[in-house]
Structure 1
């Protein structure tokens, strides 16, 4: 992910990518702790901070925020609504496909009372919240309302 961010985040967008990254960490920290502490998802094998909390540090504090950075800096702001919806679907699908692969092929994630479509919905909502914050923070296109997708 570090190499992907280094390669695909333009120098003039570094500050914007950093904001999206940090804000997504806040969102994933809250949602991640809720689902893990309530036994909805389990991470049996964690690489980092095994005793700090039960959440997956790698997934929730690095992979998701990195994709969110790319999602926000490449968002098709001036395009038609269909491109915006496809942008959400594309970035959400990448994460969910990686998660499904991790469930089926590794011992990194175990669904207890969760399914892939809950991941899809919550990740898409978190992208939307991130996008609202990003637009508010940078005041993009003040002539349009902030709540627009």
Structure 2
């Protein structure tokens, strides 16, 4: 719903490319992390016997979040505002991951720490800008 509300019609093509590219990169990184045993997703709704990664997050939530990041990116602002935008983008997604880690059984860190997620999410937008 946020994509429909915030993506202008003239940027739908750009949003679509970002969404698909994010899915590819996220699938690769997510598969590596899960297959190496760093993170486990004990409760999975989709594709329980095929892929061990979090399908909903990696194919819908994170790509949509990156589309919003790119569409709303403050291109004409100073470097300080841009750095705050990157930090806010990363902090919000990691905040929800840590909440899910602590209060649900959706994510289980084995050989992983929240700051690894922070680093990978922080680096991800640099691929698109």
Is the structural similarity TM-score above 0.5?
Answer: yes
Are residues 1:77 and 2:75 paired?
Answer: yes
Contact 1:41/1:109 (<8 A) preserved: yes
Q: Give 1:121's match in structure 2, choosing from 116, 119, 127.
A: 119
Matched pairs, number: 129
- Deviation per CA, 1:23-62: give whole Å up to 9, x if none: 1111101100010000000000011111121000001111
- Partner of 1:50, secondary structure, is coil
- Partner of 1:118, secondary structure, is helix
CA distance in 1, matches of 2:95, 2:108: 15
CA distance in 2, matches of 1:52, 1:127: 28
Are residues 1:48 and 2:21 paired?
Answer: no
Q: Any unmatched runs of 5+ in structure 2?
A: none
TM-score, normalising length: structure 2? 0.96
CA distance in 1, matches of 2:86, 2:125: 7
Structure 2 equivalent of residue 97 of structure 1? 95
CA distance in 2, matches of 1:118, 1:130: 20
- Partner of 2:128, secondary structure, is helix
Q: Any unmatched runs of 5+ in structure 1?
A: 132-149
Contact 1:28/1:60 (<8 A) preserved: yes
Matched ranges for 1:1-149 at <5 A: 3-131=1-129
